[in-house]
Amino acid sequence: MTTASSADTPAVVTEARTEPRGRRFTAGPALAYLRYVGGKLAGAVVSLFAVLVTSFFLFRIIPGDPVRTMTHGRQVSAEQLGSLRSQFGLDLPLWQQFTHYCGGALTGDLGTSYQFHAPVGSLIAEKLPATLLLTGTAVVLYSALGIWLGTRSAWHSGGLGDRFHTGLALTLWSVPSFWLGLLLVITFSVGTGPVPGLFPTGGMASGDTSGFAYVLDVAHHMVLPVLTLVAVQYAQTLLVMRSSLLDEMGGDYLTTARAKGLRDAAVRRRHAVPNALLPTVTMLFINLGHVAAGSILVETVFSWPGLGGLFYQALSVPDLPLVQGLFVVFAGAMIVMNLLADLLYPLLDPRVGR
């Protein structure tokens, strides 16, 4: 009995060792990542459908009649009003309007603007470059500034610089962007400020320049709106980076790196900061989603000819197709950037999605 038992044991052990391990360490993580990606893609599709539903029904509770607003100040008969409602599909039942809207959105047709009498897609494409220029520049600047100052504040936690930068960031983060923009206009643009006429009060360019002079003119007009966005938004990046780095500073791997003789700057740059960047990367992708939306209030204050100002004009009518189309573009950009961040995160941290 003893001999048979000992003879059978190696075969069982050998079989247990050779069969499952290849699949466990090759196909397992790949399948887990595919399931993770599939779940995130399904969530993004559901979110986009929810955006379509919300954009349709939300803006129909805005008070006001678009047709009467368009014909304000003109003598229009009841037959003409009915003809306009029929032209824009406003006389159809609500469910039928919704099905037409969803069908058009799925094919890229966002409808025709009531006030501009042009396709919504072409209006968005016309204004998008100005918004990308303004908010894209601001995102790059406040992300770099926030990461740099957040790293320094955390590494020298409790010091004078940390208290100053953290206090300033919290103060600016609580300031409304439109109020700060108006304050900058009063200070640096209008005649009542201490430095009047230093920067333009609004617009994107003077209109009488070309070539390199035009580039300088646009940059001159960008100073105040970009400064407003950077001052308000960099605080979020600073605080997230500071908090993440403080969590990493107590790690044993940093103690091991110092024990190997690495200088403090090398420990921070090679080990602590890369790990602390993981939450910040997710936030940066979210900020990139804001690039398409821009800043409605800042663009309105500085009369910047972007999507923010277009959205404000559409709300004042209300221009339902244009408002809905802009809302879908803004929310869709956020969903896509969140999806990209979710897909990138497992590559940066293998523990995610397993």
Rounded Cα gap, residues 16 and 24, in angstroms: 13
Query: Is residue 57 situated within a structural domain?
Result: yes
Query: Is residue 70 situated within a structural domain?
Result: no
CB 192 within 8 A of CB 212: no
Range of the domain at 281: 40-63+110-348
Rounded Cα gap, residues 53 and 171, in angstroms: 37
Tens place of pLDDT for every residue, the chain, 354 residues? 444 444 444 444 444 444 444 444 445 667 877 888 888 889 888 988 888 888 777 767 766 666 666 665 566 666 766 776 776 666 677 777 788 878 877 787 788 887 888 888 899 999 989 988 998 899 889 989 988 998 888 888 888 888 898 888 888 888 888 888 888 888 888 766 566 678 888 888 877 777 788 888 888 889 999 999 998 888 888 988 888 888 877 777 777 777 777 777 777 777 777 777 777 877 788 777 777 666 788 888 888 888 888 888 888 777 788 888 888 888 888 888 888 888 877 776 666 655
Query: Is residue 325 situated within a structural domain?
Result: yes
Neighbours of 337 (CB within 10 A): 20
User: What's the whole-model pTM score?
Assistant: 0.74
Q: What is the DSSP string of 219-236?
A: HHHHHHHHHHHHHHHHHH
Query: Is residue 206 situated within a structural domain?
Result: yes
Rounded Cα gap, residues 154 and 196, in angstroms: 39
Amino acid at 122: S
CATH number of the domain encompassing residue 186: 1.10.3720.10
Structure confidence at residue 204 (pLDDT): 82
Query: Is residue 71 situated within a structural domain?
Result: no
Neighbours of 69 (CB within 10 A): 14
Say how many domains are in the chain: 1
Structure tokens at 155: 């590494």
Structure confidence at residue 15 (pLDDT): 43
Query: Is residue 320 situated within a structural domain?
Result: yes
Question: Which of the 8 DSSP states describes residue 250?
Answer: T
Query: Is residue 330 situated within a structural domain?
Result: yes
Structure confidence at residue 5 (pLDDT): 46
Determine phi and psi for 209, rounding to 5 degrees: -125, 165
109: helix, strand or coil: coil
Query: Is residue 154 situated within a structural domain?
Result: yes
Give the angle 235-222-241 at the CA atoms, nearest 5°. Answer: 20
